[in-house]
Amino acid sequence: MNNADLQHLHCCVELATEALEAGNEPFGSVLVGADGTVLAEDYNRVAAGDQTQHPELALARWAATNLTPEERAGANVFTSGEHCPMCAAAHGWVGLSRIRYVSPAEQLVTWLAAVGGVGLACASAADSSGGGRSRSRGSVS
């Protein structure tokens, strides 16, 4: 892990904060090309009721639409939390490279237990104040 990796992970935490402030679950992710260029970023958008609106899945879909298979094979995902099974599968299907995350899934379980065992999905399902913003920093091709 180098300083650029740490910067990307810091950005993920900032995106997670943005997600939380918008009423979503606190997760954010950044897709970085083989040359170190930030290609796209997103945050969790489940507040509107769609529990599949994870940033890791959004970035996998973005990569499938905007990158060649060769570019995807060199692109890394940085994210605030370890991928869930849905996002891990999408990452694999799309053919992205490494995943770097701030906190492992075990840590999330520990944090949820500390706040009373309420699942994030359950807590956010009652909140319908989701945002609609999607960001990218340009396409590669």
Site for Zn ion in 65-84 (CB under 5 A): 84
Which has the closest alpha carbon to 134: 52, 42, 57?
A: 42
Q: In this complex, which beta carbon is closest to Zn ion, that of residue 39 or of residue 60?
A: 60
Convert residues 37-56 into a mask of x (bound to Zn ion by CB under 5 A) and - (unbound).
Answer: -----------------x--
CB-based contacts of 73, cutoff 8 Å, min separation 6: 95, 96, 97
Distance of CA 124 to the CA centre of its chain: 17
Give the residue with the Cβ less far from Zn ion, 67 or 87: 87
The distance of closest approach from Cβ of residue 86 to Zn ion in the complex, given in angstroms and rounded to an integer, is 5
The smaller minimum CB distance to Zn ion, of residues 19 and 36, is found at 19
Q: Binding to Zn ion (CB under 5 A): which residues in 12-31? A: none
By beta-carbon proximity to Zn ion, the closer residue of 22 and 84 is 84
Q: Cβ neighbours of residue 77 under 8 Å, at least 6 residues apart?
A: 29, 30, 31, 32, 56, 59, 60, 83, 91, 96, 97, 98, 99, 100
Among 87, 90, 94, 120, binds Zn ion (CB under 5 A): 87
Residues that bind Zn ion (CB under 5 A): 54, 84, 86-87
